[in-house]
Structure 1
């Protein structure tokens, strides 16, 4: 790769032409704008290189290889880089890059991920460009986000604002399928969140009707397993005293009660699959179930699995309690149990997140861009930034604009890299110039 200072002469030339358009920006910020523009084709070339290396979550060698490609990019910017092995949770590892500046400057955490959902057996493997549009595995989620991070940091270096900044870049290697136990696979990220004053997540930008929207909240992602049991016997005795209703009616009662009693804003509780019979069993992978039975036998067991998504921890706790109450109000002759697996916590809306958006919108105004509204949190999935949300203010959706994430044909608007890297560089520089209140 060429030197990160490679854009300086061209940036100066572009600055002389473009400065009037950026009159509300400081000279350093104008340099960031033009540096990002000048580096566009090199950024696309790096995106192509890392996209063409398969880094599906379970392709550990591929995840490590992409990480090794990125290490010199961060080292050239003065970052200390560490590869954190995660063999103990059956994952490849994480790349953390640290830049320590002025002791009184804000501490900023940048979050992205190296892995994709596309494993080596996927037919979707190569980067393809058509003008300002490109397709490829992870071009949005999240190799494109990594490019935005690097482009912004290079712009800060060119403008002289990187030297005093305190920045940690956390690129996880298993965001799409976090290793278990999750407390271990996310230990280093959580510690970085406890260190930070601000966290920025670089998954894809949310765009609706051509308008860029900010992500100040994301919902949790948890799962539940429900089992019901009943007294088996001849079907002619169903509903009678001593026989009861059987496991399937009890399962149906519980699931329909969830549907009727739980609805509220920003809460969903999908049922992914279920089975009932004599017996019904959950597969060892927790992703399947099987059952056998006869129409003249009262079923003795049923099982279902689903997810639970909430906007706040309070909503999680309250919903779990309500689900447990429904589960324990059993039909005659039946019993039931529900178990929860808490995976990704919510990134709840907060005053601090709203204040960060206000700062970003001030930058949008200075850049001549429209004000960004808030993207509905129920329309974004869970992400790694949620693990640090309890400890620091944050904004997500700082990556590029694209479509089709997690599907063959995933694509990205390459020109969105420019405005996203410019926004990020100026925001990080302004944050670094602030002395945060750490009382």
Structure 2
């Protein structure tokens, strides 16, 4: 009897120790219904956006997509500004603000208007087949913008948008960022400093049929190594007077990178290499015009590549290692390395994990599976990294898609509904919390 009583008490204690799961509120149930009822409208908007080419270098096309999105945001009560980016040789950005109740969480929503498909691409049109649709940017990131708008409309329908503090930044050059970067991303960085939370509406990662949660993105950095040698007849190679030549010096550097740089969460690549009696790198950094002869010691060699890291500390450490390797010149040679740190890293922080935990409570409430953390090596760089040092963030609130950045890019239309429901409830719950800034 006493054993049974102890067992009962223990069971009750365990039940009390487990936090009660919040049921969906009436407003959240309205959001779910609104997303479902609005789905045809979302798909029609996606088709309209996809059929307007907006390759990053098609400035008029990017602006045209911005003009399509603008009235959608204005109808929701946002103040919308088109910010031209002529100084960076790109079209511009949409910046939209909706200020609600003072003192509550300020949310930054991030997406992009452009795609990798320029007007000369053969892949130009939206084609639907059941719950799948192909098209340039159907997933990345026109599908993401459609999820964002569907979630905001659901919030409006349920009455949770009116008090929410939300800033939206839709960049026009995420796929090919303009230069200088401090101007190209100045508005986004400033918005990040104002925000308590950043939500990026790029694609949902799916592994083995399971939706994954993304709390980190790696950096994207490029480097250029130029080596010099003493030109002369090849019969003198490796002598004290002639030295090793520029190409052997470049080969030493690249081989040492491969041997000494590897560490967890780091990848590095050599994407372009050339050398000889002359070597000229084009302005875009994608072609090397080289000349040389088999019997002439090469006087110059050039290599370009990238490296990707998970934290700024790792970036700094890798840069220092590469500088040290380059400085250890072979006889009769010299070398320099230049870095272009393009996209910073978004490290997997405790604040980001807390956001994913909140999303997973919503998944439970929606009777969806919890979303495990995605390995950051499986995600490329993205705009949210520019604000990661200033605010907590969550990645991958856009739809599920396959074949992004290639002809045949295909979006799962059903995932638009799933993601819009998650985002609408998450933003509504965050809007009810006290702000940090």
- Fold similarity call, TM over 0.5: yes
| Counterparts of residues 200-219 of structure 1 (less than 5 Å) | 200-219=199-218
CA apart distance, 1:269: 1.2
8 Å CA contact 2:362–2:426 kept in 1: the answer is yes
CA apart distance, 1:105: 1.0
| Counterparts of residues 197-346 of structure 1 (less than 5 Å) | 197-346=196-345
SS of the residue aligned with 1:338?
strand
SS of the residue aligned with 1:92?
strand
SS of the residue aligned with 1:71?
helix
Q: Which range moves more in the overlay, 284-293 or 331-340?
A: 284-293
Alpha-carbon distance in 2 for matches of 1:267, 1:202 = 25
CA apart distance, 1:185: 0.7
SS of the residue aligned with 2:268?
coil
8 Å CA contact 2:311–2:345 kept in 1: the answer is yes
Alpha-carbon distance in 2 for matches of 1:203, 1:422 = 16
Alpha-carbon distance in 2 for matches of 1:23, 1:349 = 27
Q: What whole-Å deviation, never above 9, does each CA across 1:97-131 have from its counterpart, x for those lacking one?
A: 11000011100000000011111111111100000
Q: Given the superposition, is the C-alpha separation of residues 236 and 432 from structure 1 closer, same or farther in structure 2, using an over 3 Å criterion?
A: same
How many residue pairs get aligned? The number is: 417
Aligned to 1:129: 128
CA apart distance, 1:23: 8.8
8 Å CA contact 2:74–2:80 kept in 1: the answer is yes
Q: What whole-Å deviation, never above 9, does each CA across 1:158-177 have from its counterpart, x for those lacking one?
A: 11110100001111111111
Aligned to 1:408: 407
Alpha-carbon distance in 1 for matches of 2:86, 2:360 = 42
Alpha-carbon distance in 1 for matches of 2:156, 2:373 = 30
8 Å CA contact 1:281–1:302 kept in 2: the answer is no
Aligned to 1:83: 82
- Structure 1 gaps, min length 5: 1-21
SS of the residue aligned with 2:267?
coil
Q: What whole-Å deviation, never above 9, does each CA across 1:293-348 have from its counterpart, x for those lacking one?
A: 11111111100000111000000000000000000001111110000011100011
Alpha-carbon distance in 1 for matches of 2:231, 2:436 = 64
SS of the residue aligned with 1:270?
strand
In the superposition, the TM-score normalised over structure 2's length comes to 0.94
8 Å CA contact 1:267–1:308 kept in 2: the answer is yes
SS of the residue aligned with 1:88?
helix
| Counterparts of residues 400-439 of structure 1 (less than 5 Å) | 400-438=399-437
Alpha-carbon distance in 2 for matches of 1:291, 1:86 = 35
Alpha-carbon distance in 2 for matches of 1:256, 1:88 = 39
